[in-house]
Amino acid sequence: MPLRDRADRLAERPLLFHYLRKLPEMNYRATKARIAAIRDSLGRPRVLDAGCGTGEFAHLFDASTYVGVDVCEPYVRFARRRSPRLRFECADVATWKWDGPSFDLVLVNGVLHHLDDATALAVLRGSAALGRPGATLLVIEDVERRAAGVGTRLVHSLDHGRFIRTSANWEALVSRVVPVERSESYASGLCPYHLMLCRMR
């Protein structure tokens, strides 16, 4: 079986995916530190984790103000078992109807590189619509780097997402929905990411 097919099958098994994906990322320390800093700058924000996956970043937030949403039911079941005090919903955030208060922080982390432009824009618009006026939209995605090392190229070649874009292309895409106020590229273990901080109107 080709290595890529093996990786795709691994991604379909939440327990293995959740723990093995931490290894090349050094437990996502760089990403978690950035999310925590933005959380702290907002006080005690109501948080929507749009495309929460297995709930890896859910513990960064207060259980009473956090909602995670993901389209993959096995991932949502895993997240609920792992963090039973937090709320997780299985839904497509592009069309999800939320009847609670608007969110102060909307996190879209590691979602859009799985999606073509049209679908990614639908997810961004659906996510942004759930934030209050003036809310923060934080987008973090795998980024394409010309000078990527062997380890980075291997991780990207095995990644389930097939739409890893350059930093310029990420900013152009996100800016079609909401202006990007601040951005940076950084390394999370072997994996390069691009972070975009946006303020909703």
- Mind listing the pLDDT tens digit of every residue in the chain (201 residues)? 333 333 344 445 565 555 566 666 767 999 999 999 999 999 999 999 999 999 999 999 999 999 999 999 999 999 999 999 999 999 999 999 999 999 999 999 999 999 999 999 999 999 999 999 999 999 999 998 766 544 444 444 445 568 999 999 999 999 999 999 999 999 988 889 999 999 998
CATH class of the domain comprising 3-199: alpha beta
3-state secondary structure 38-89: HHHHCCCCCEEEECCCCCCCHHHCCHHHEEEEECCHHHHHHHHHHCCCCEEE
**pLDDT, position 162:** 87
What confidence score (pLDDT) does residue 16 get? 59
pLDDT number for residue 12 = 57
Neighbour-count burial for 16-32, b at 16+ CB within 10 Å, e otherwise: ebbeebeeebeebebbb
Instruction: Give pLDDT, residue 9.
Output: 43
| Confidence (pLDDT) at 25 | 76
Instruction: Name the pTM for this structure.
Output: 0.85
Kindly report the backbone phi and psi dihedral angles of residue 97, in degrees, each rounded to the nearest multiple of 5, phi listed first: -100, 120
Predicted confidence at residue 22, as pLDDT, reads 66
